[in-house]
Amino acid sequence: MAPRLNHRSPAVQQLILNPRAERRLKMGHLWIYSNEVDTKRSPLKGLEPGGQCEILDSNGKSLGYALVNPNQLICGRLVSRGDPFNSKQLQRRLESALALRERYFPHPSYRMVYGDSDGLPGLVVDRFGDYLVVQVSSWGMETLLGDIVDALVSLVKPKGILLRNDHQGRKVEELPEVSEVAHGEVPQLVPFEENGVALLAPVYQGQKTGWFYDHRDNRARLNQWVKGLNVLDLFSYAGGWGVQALAHGAAQVTCVDASGQALDWCEENAALNNRRDDLVTIQGKAIDAMKELINEGQRFDAIVLDPPAFIKRRKDQKSGEAAYRHINELALRLLEKNGLLVSASCSMHLESDTLLEILRGAGRHLDKNISIIGSGGQGADHPVHPAIPETRYLKAHFVHLAAGSNY
């Protein structure tokens, strides 16, 4: 486990910014790029990854304190605009994050800490009732991990805390990949609740922390419209959309995923809700499965299209947008008239309006009349920092396919 923070403020080094580089920070952003640092006056070389530095503007005025990694483009993340960051401030941030979730969620199943938005850049904590799953993606939070675990134990009193620090994001910061229980015991599948539906999250082997809470509100919107419908859930993972649709009265749900293990989890979640017999699973790539379903002449009353991010970097923009258009065209071809398509994207670099334009183009290309009957984003447990557009990444559009003639 990582060492604890000193309660007394240690001496810290200073980083001086280039002229006018402080503007974004003064507007509320937290990130400091290496090309914004005056390296002649304050070299980055030699700084310890995860260490704390005082940030000064070009005139020597203090802007606060940041946790740094001198080897990255984002070389600093502001954690305090006053005194050096310490364990008391960490405790208060966690208390504030918990208070927000307890205010807006009746059941203790949510993302309890969402990085920058909760003033803890590089830290994610998902809560599944009595269990917590922690992910760290920055050296700054890695150095505080011991304090983080202690504070979470004191604050939430969980039965167990799992550190899922074996994800791709740690490679960027050159952090070691490790998955281990830091407190108590954590079962392979942890029980929780979303939109009134009992579910199990595969926290050890599943993607990310084991679950994707971000679409909770969008799933709730779909749930009100699925009774009696035949639903196709593409990129289904463990059944977040599909199993909830079954629990809310869908006649049948077909889940498609490349992972057989994910489909096994779908089946377990469907069985938990006494709807296993109404779940059909197809293992394979979504695009291949969609083409096969089209060839078979199958149609669905509602389709959920929630793929992984096709645009992970700016250079992927053109190819990623083409991929979104292709899968949305396939989905529209599988949709019954008077049907509903949920078209989602978790690509931060894809604007919501761009996804709308992709949907418009797909509809016109296929000569289909579509209407947008609703749009959504991430839930309250993924709060958007108003000065950090990067914290807003999720979008979902609800698309109605007209039953009448084309016009």
Calculate Rg over the CA atoms of the chain: 23
Q: Which entry of 53, 255, 266, 346 is annotated as an active-site residue?
A: 346
Give me the residue label for tokens 């504070």: 151
Residue of 229, 290, 230, 223 lying closest to 256 (CA atoms): 290
Cα atoms in the 13 Å half-sphere on the side-chain side of 67? 21
8 A C-beta contact, residue 140 and residue 67 = yes
On the 0-12 / 13-18 / 19+ scale of CB atoms within 10 A, 105 is buried
8 A C-beta contact, residue 112 and residue 128 = no
346 has catalytic annotation: yes
The Cα 336–Cα 316 span in angstroms is: 32
Residues assigned a catalytic role: 346
